[in-house]
Structure 1
Amino acid sequence: MRTTPEADVTLVLDFLNTVDVEEGTDELRGADSWHAWAAARDLRPGPVGEARSTRESLRALAGDPHATAGEVDVPVRIAVTPAGPSLVADSAVGAVLAAAARLSLLGEFARIKICPADNCRWAFYDRSRNRSRAWCSMSACGNREKARAWRQRATQS
């Protein structure tokens, strides 16, 4: 099955955002919610612990200062089809890692970032030309941070 870079970005972001700091929710907290997440994407869930450690490692790679990168060992294989070689995974975590690997090979994984706002930490894809976007949303987190910095400068004057 051929995928597009956009589909890979969507899958990786959806996976990274299974934890919502602002809402205090975590779709990987239990097996039921993890299974529902995977089923909604027509993927086989696999162990929830494997999903948690993979998410933690990918979030660390994307710049989450609260996450710790670790080694993850999930089977992904290469299949040769009439459309050409492709990465194939048997589980949801494998599919996410295959998507992340394809983005990495294209030099696009570095565009996946974590919002630096401690009350947000949402994963987003930096579509800016020079890859300099820092906030998940300028109208939300970016605006709050700019206002906070301005107030701090104004009180120091």
Structure 2
Amino acid sequence: MTDVDLVVDFLNTVDHDAHTDVLSDPDAWRRWLADRGLADGAADAGAVRTALRAAVGDPVDASAEPEDAAVPVTVELSAGGAPRLAAADVAGAVLAAASRLAVLGQWARVKICPADDCRWAFYDRSRNHSRTWCSMQVCGNREKARTWRSARR
């Protein structure tokens, strides 16, 4: 799993459209962790998710003034290998992945869909980094239709 996939999947453990939250369902959370080969940890995953969602521009999470999120992450250097960030639990793994994205200049490409009924996290793969909607076929189309109907009135 890539850093982008891990971070976006973690941010999307809350689905505002379906009103579900993987973190509040112990069975779903265990399955989510197992599917990614991660361990739950002492850090509050909800606080980490809220802080990360606010950091990428989720207006609801940003207005909640999230707490700082800090988890232990180490740098490992194996014989003949390159240094790598390592963590013992999900919060550390996600923050290590987010840190790698930031170092590579890719953090700004992680965005939150501005549609109030969506707010899905996505990675902007457009050439000029201008993508706004998680999906042009769904959220973007809905917004364009609203704008068109409003202009027609």
- The TM-score, its normalising length taken from structure 1, stands at 0.90
Please report how far the alpha carbon of residue 31 of structure 1 lies from its aligned counterpart in structure 2 after TM superposition. 3.5
Gaps of 5+ in 1: 1-5
- State the match for 2:118 in structure 1: 120
Q: Residue 40 of structure 1: which of 19, 32, 35 is its match? A: 35
Rounded to whole Å, the distance in 2 between the matches of 1:59 and 1:13 is 10
Please report how far the alpha carbon of residue 33 of structure 1 lies from its aligned counterpart in structure 2 after TM superposition. 2.7
Q: Residue 100 of structure 2: which of 88, 99, 102 is its match? A: 102
Please report how far the alpha carbon of residue 136 of structure 1 lies from its aligned counterpart in structure 2 after TM superposition. 0.2
User: AA paired with 2:104?
Assistant: L
Q: Deviations over 1:108-147 (max 9, x none)?
A: 0110000000100000000111110000000000000001
Give the aligned CA root-mean-square deviation in angstroms. 1.3
Q: Hey, which bits of structure 1, 4+ residues long, moved more than 3 A?
A: none
Rounded to whole Å, the distance in 1 between the matches of 2:44 and 2:30 is 13
- The TM-score, its normalising length taken from structure 2, stands at 0.92
- State the match for 2:7 in structure 1: 12
Q: Residue 77 of structure 1: which of 69, 74, 78 is its match? A: 74
Gaps of 5+ in 2: none
- State the match for 1:23 in structure 2: 18
Matched, 1:131 2:126: no
Matched, 1:51 2:45: yes
Please report how far the alpha carbon of residue 10 of structure 1 lies from its aligned counterpart in structure 2 after TM superposition. 0.3
Rounded to whole Å, the distance in 2 between the matches of 1:51 and 1:31 is 12
* Secondary structure of 1:66 counterpart: helix
- State the match for 1:146 in structure 2: 144
Deviates more, 1:21-30 or 1:31-40: 31-40
1:53–1:72 CA contact under 8 A, matched in 2: yes
* Secondary structure of 1:78 counterpart: strand
User: AA paired with 2:142?
Assistant: R
